[in-house]
Amino acid sequence: MTRKLITVVGVLILGLALVAMSCAPAGEVKPADAFGGKTIDLTNPNRPGGSGYTIGQLGGIYLEKYTGATVAMTVRRGAGGLEGHAG
């Protein structure tokens, strides 16, 4: 009884996975289509020159390369990082 139930559930899950894959969008959507020509504002709560700032700069370069958007990074320090995270 339990083995049969497990088999039925497995087949149902497999069937749902196949249906979900067939419902995928036909065309590929590229990030440049969504962000091309726009400006992305990155807010960094870390001090300039630190590792968090450097990682943010590298992430901005990566975003510009693959999305075609302009990335503007601003540093907002204060309140132990809360100022930069507040938006």
Q: What is the pLDDT of residue 25?
A: 63
Burial class (CB in 10 A: 0-12, 13-18, 19+), 44: buried
Count up the domains in the chain and report the number.
1
Structural domain containing residue 45: 2-85
3-state secondary structure 8-59: HHHHHHHHHHHHHHHCCCCCCCCHHHHHCCCEEEEEECCCCCCHHHHHHHHH
Q: What is the pLDDT of residue 18?
A: 66
pLDDT in tens, the chain (87 residues): 677 777 877 777 777 776 666 665 666 666 666 777 788 888 887 778 888 888 888 888 888 888 888 888 888 766 665 666 665
Q: What is the pLDDT of residue 65?
A: 84
